[in-house]
Amino acid sequence: MSTPMDPKARAEVRRGWLLSAPALVLLAVGASGPLLIMLVYSFLEAGQYGNVEWVISFKAWFNVVMTRDIFDGTLGFADAHLTIFWRSAKLAFLTTVFCFVVGFPTAWFIATRTPSMRTALLFLITIPFWTNLLIRTFAINQIIRNEGFLNTGLLYLGIIKEPIVMLYTDFAVFIGMTYVYLPLMVLPLFAAIDRFDMRLLQAGYDLYASRWQLLRHVIVPVVKPGIISGSILVFIPALGAYVTPRILGGGRNMMIGNFIELQFGQGRNWPLGAALSVVLLVIVSVALIVYTRFATGGQDKSHG
């Protein structure tokens, strides 16, 4: 049975809630307000020149996955919408996986250096954050375009005879997002590896464990919180990315973020854009729940 709180402690708790109430209200209004507006707009009719008409309608939600032929009125799946959703999820997942593949050994290397070298390497990792995302994306554009540094160098060395078309492809978006979000994977992994007790490796070697067994049964379970945190920090912004797909993917390889902006801009279909925004929020929420369950399940098993 829980012991009742004494009046003094209860007064302290009440005082703490009262002091934090303004900040909580501000966060609730600032975070929930725009989401509620999007939810309401998704159930309204689209205006002729943008905005919405205050008439209850489920047309926007219907158009998220279905479409009606303008000539014979037959129903069919909205292939373009589903393709954009699939491309967004696929590129976000591949970006997360590749950032982990590159970021894990990078974080391990940094964490096992001397303190002075570690500080210098972490400083280099954080340098990209000093530059605007748009500038960094244009830098990647200058590298991979047909007349960019990469193709020019390969042509000069005689490795290729004509430029490799990389710009305005899914590959370009993948490379750009990996470059942009890689530090978000390295830093949480470094924080987890930095707390790793290296004596566990020696103990594993004494028990004749192979390197693969050490990685699978010792290192990964210990640094799992860093893996989960890095994956969340990469996957969620990559799923809703706008600037990088817009510049490196062009109009042909847009992702869900670009498609939502298109509905509020040139498409002038605010209810559909709002419905797509809510769908994106649901996808992100599901991803967070899966990651959290995965992390919690692993910890429960380790304690058990």
On whether residue 49 sits in a domain, the answer given is no
Kindly indicate the confidence band of residue 68, based on its pLDDT and cuts at 50, 70 and 90: confident
Closest CA to 224 of 195, 198, 250, 192: 192
Give the highest mean pLDDT range of 46-50, 149-153, 286-290. 149-153
On whether residue 117 sits in a domain, the answer given is yes
Sign of the dihedral through C-alpha 41, 45, 51, 53: negative
| CATH number of 209's domain | 1.10.3720.10
Instruction: Give the pLDDT confidence of 187-237 residue by residue, as tens digits.
Output: 999 999 998 888 888 888 888 888 888 888 888 888 888 998 899 999 999
The residue segments making up the domain with residue 221 are: 79-303
pTM given for the model? 0.84
On whether residue 32 sits in a domain, the answer given is no
On whether residue 8 sits in a domain, the answer given is no
On whether residue 273 sits in a domain, the answer given is yes
- Model confidence at 2: pLDDT above 70: no
On whether residue 50 sits in a domain, the answer given is no
Instruction: Give the pLDDT confidence of 236-272 residue by residue, as tens digits.
Output: 999 999 999 999 988 777 899 999 999 998 888 999 9
On whether residue 25 sits in a domain, the answer given is no
On whether residue 11 sits in a domain, the answer given is no
Number of folded domains in the chain?
1
Mean pLDDT taken over the chain:
87
State how far the Cα of 299 lies from the Cα of 62, in Å rounded to an integer.
41
